[in-house]
Amino acid sequence: MTEIERHAYDVVVIGAGGAGLRAAIEARLQGKKTAVISKSLFGKAHTVMAEGGAAAAMGNVNPNDNWQVHFRDTMRGGKFLNNWRMAELHAKEAPDRVWELEHWGALFDRTKDGKISQRNFGGHEYPRLAHVGDRTGLELIRTAQQKIVALQQEDHRDHGDYDARLKVWAETTVTRLLKDGDRICGAFAYVRETGKFVVFEAPAVVLATGGIGKAFKVTSNSWEYTGDGHSLALLAGATLLNMEFVQFHPTGMVWPPSVKGILVTESVRGDRGVLKNSDGKRFMFEYIPEVFKSQYATTEEEGDRWYDDPDNNKRPPELLPRDEVARAINSEVKAGRGSPHGGVFLTVVDRMPGGAAEIVQRLPSMHHQFKELADVDITKEAMEVGPTCHYVMGGVEVDPDTAAALVPGLFAAGEVAGGMHGSNRLGGNSLTDLLVFGRRAGLGASEYVDSLAERPVVSDETVQAAADEALAPFARKGGENPYAVHAELQQTMNDLVGIIRKEGELEQALESLDKLRDRVANVGVEPVAVNDGRGYHPGWHLALDLRNMLIVSEAIAKAALERQESRGGHTRDDYPGMSPEWRKVNLVCRLAGDPSSPRVELRRQPMEPMRDDLIRLFEGDELKKYLTAEELPAQVAGKQ
Ligand code: FAD
């Protein structure tokens, strides 16, 4: 057998973004020997790129804000398909998690009276995003890392070893979850630098691997977001929920081609930025959907007044939820009113009272990004922007309170978990999702470990099977180039399963993915010159990632074909309306068939009715837009 290191832990956390770090901190605080693994460098996760802020109803800027309003906004944003218990826990616990970060050393921007400042964002009724300029995710990760170092220093003091109870495994990629019977018993990984294999023996594994963006051609996601956690969960026998819901952020860079897809934060619009078409018109006023009509301004004057007097004016439609704005931009471009490079214009020029200096102060990263990457000075010129694949709402089906997946010993939190955001995530809700459910996953995993009478065992056979699978691309002499196969997969997803979907195209996508299955199984790579041919070998890494992207793509395309309605991050050209009947349905995926070439199987699962006290937080007229007549509480339906 190939030489393989083995290390034993109580809890292994896969992913070192916000969810993973928060889970690892919690497991360690619960006294568990914990490993946290990341595919990229430690500190380089998507969380670090989060610009706008962390949504928490602290009520610092507008005292009317509270968890109930946040819960309502989240459910509206998700078009009532959210797991309402997750949305409730999130809205209730988010402020504590933000305050906790401050206790650990985070430095948020302040209001004039010294409280944590909160900014406006799409879909949030009140200013709610705690932020650090437009670098909030960086501060979150910096703070969590600082906490980890502090815990490691304690461990060094007590055990003479910094890694005694919490070790970071950077640049280490998990390719399989390992099982002993029905239970999780660990994870199999390779180390990027050396290509060497490592087995992590652990009764509990927390998936915190983030998103799937690299399955699409135009994306704000970076190289490591290949749907690994989603696919690892399926391969281990767990289920995924509502994978059809993919968020296309309305504002990605469109030019130059090398940076196409890179995010332009929503804070630009939250801080008075407006969208215009090639006629110079603020077109979003034409695209306010019926369900939101009462909450958004109908004139530019009112929209502009809202920034200074939000209590007496309605918000501008540039701040509609992301799915609405992305579709509107798509329509403008299709109608021939786009910008020269196929987007629309987003401008802050002359929009801030403090002029150019305020733009640079409020949006430092955006100013830098456009200057460096596109030679555009956003204090003087408009940005060109268009939709980009940004976030996946679908993910591992978990218990809301413990983050446990269906497989004993498996937990999931953050973007890889499903349910919390329903059909569309509100900006800023991810960062607090990571903290709330990262903590809960760390707790859930620790409690699970405590409950075990005996620990599961990692057998040599399972390890050998995982090693053989990882080495297979080297054995395929004359196999296909993984980059060519990846490019085709991304093009297929972009063209046929993108922002606007139709039956015929989705069927075509599934046929193409079927053909790609054989090609993925046949990708081959040559050894490189160092470390047994496997050291720093991006072609090999991609060859392994392709399995994950293919599985996730199939899950998205199948679910998108099945759901015959348009809701949030799933728009069907052939079923443009939102259907109350479909709102009652979760689409659940699992893998079935030949284990060497498994297929995604879909099941319709009824949505659990919302608890009575929560449903009563909404006005009857609003509920009527989402629920079927039978679901409406008695008094709303006029039965009392
Ligand atoms: P991530 O932060 O994505 O981390 C995933 C981790 O898993 C990484 O460490 C990665 O290396 C690791 N990993 C993946 N696969 C493997 C594997 N096979 N083996 C080992 N490790 C693996 N949300 C907000 O709320 N507010 C914002 O302002 C905001 N802005 C954003 C801006 C950008 C440009 C992007 C891309 C996203 C933004 N989001 C924002 C969304 C938010 O940042 C992400 O959804 C969130 O950070 C995901 O966190 P996570 O902990 O789930 O995973």
Q: Cβ(74) to ligand 1 under 6 A?
A: no
- ipTM exceeding cut-off 0.85 for this assembly: yes
Two tokens, residue 489 = 């997969």
**Residue 271 dihedral angles phi and psi, to the nearest 5°:** -100, 40
Q: Which residues pair with 178 in a beta bridge?
A: 186
pLDDT score of 267: 83
The rounded Å distance from CA 430 to ligand 1 centre is: 9
What is d(CA 252, CA 391) in angstroms, rounded to the nearest whole number?
Answer: 13
Mutate to test the pocket of ligand 1, among 430, 437, 544 (most ligand atoms within 8 A of CB): 430
Residue nearest to atom 6 of ligand 1 (CA): 15
Please identify, by atom number, the ligand 1 atom nearest to the C-alpha of residue 175: 18
256 preceded by cis ω (within 30°)? yes
Query: Does residue 253 come out as left (phi exceeding 0), alpha (psi in the -120 to 50 range) or beta?
Result: beta
Which of helix, strand or coil describes residue 391? strand
Q: How many residues does the chain have?
A: 640
Residue nearest to atom 30 of ligand 1 (CA): 50
pLDDT score of 638: 57
Q: Cβ(551) to ligand 1 under 6 A?
A: no
Q: Cβ(122) to ligand 1 under 6 A?
A: no
Q: What positions carry a catalytic annotation?
A: 249, 269
CB atoms within 10 A of CB 603: 11
Q: Cβ(46) to ligand 1 under 6 A?
A: yes
Dihedral of the alpha carbons of 151, 156, 158, 161, in degrees to the nearest 10: 120
pLDDT score of 640: 47
What is d(CA 631, CA 84) in angstroms, rounded to the nearest whole number?
Answer: 15
Two tokens, residue 178 = 């390992």
Q: Cβ(47) to ligand 1 under 6 A?
A: yes
pLDDT score of 635: 57
Residue nearest to atom 12 of ligand 1 (CA): 15
What is d(CA 207, CA 77) in angstroms, rounded to the nearest whole number?
Answer: 25
CA angle 437, 203, 442 (to 5 degrees): 20
Please identify, by atom number, the ligand 1 atom nearest to the C-alpha of residue 18: 51
What is d(CA 522, CA 329) in angstroms, rounded to the nearest whole number?
Answer: 39
**Type and span of the H or E element at 447:** helix 429-451
Please identify, by atom number, the ligand 1 atom nearest to the C-alpha of residue 266: 28
Closest CA to 181 of 395, 427, 458: 458
Q: Cβ(397) to ligand 1 under 6 A?
A: no
Contact 3, 25 (CB under 8 A): no
pLDDT score of 580: 95
The rounded Å distance from CA 311 to ligand 1 centre is: 34
Please identify, by atom number, the ligand 1 atom nearest to the C-alpha of residue 220: 36
pLDDT score of 366: 93
- Tens of pLDDT, residues 66-124: 999 999 999 999 999 999 999 999 999 999 999 999 999 999 999 999 999 999 888 89
pLDDT score of 227: 98
Enumerate residue ranges in the chain where pLDDT < 50. Answer: 640
Two tokens, residue 301 = 């004057």
Contact 55, 94 (CB under 8 A): yes
Closest CA to 65 of 73, 55, 74, 57: 57
The rounded Å distance from CA 222 to ligand 1 centre is: 9
- Is residue 62 packed enough to be buried (19+ CB in 10 Å), middle (13-18) or exposed (0-12)? middle
The rounded Å distance from CA 44 to ligand 1 centre is: 9
The rounded Å distance from CA 391 to ligand 1 centre is: 9
Task: Say how many CA atoms lie within 13 Å of 413 toward its Cβ.
Answer: 37
Give the pairing type, strands 34-37 and 166-169. parallel
Closest CA to 514 of 460, 544, 471, 551: 551
Please name the residue that has the structure tokens 């801080």: 271
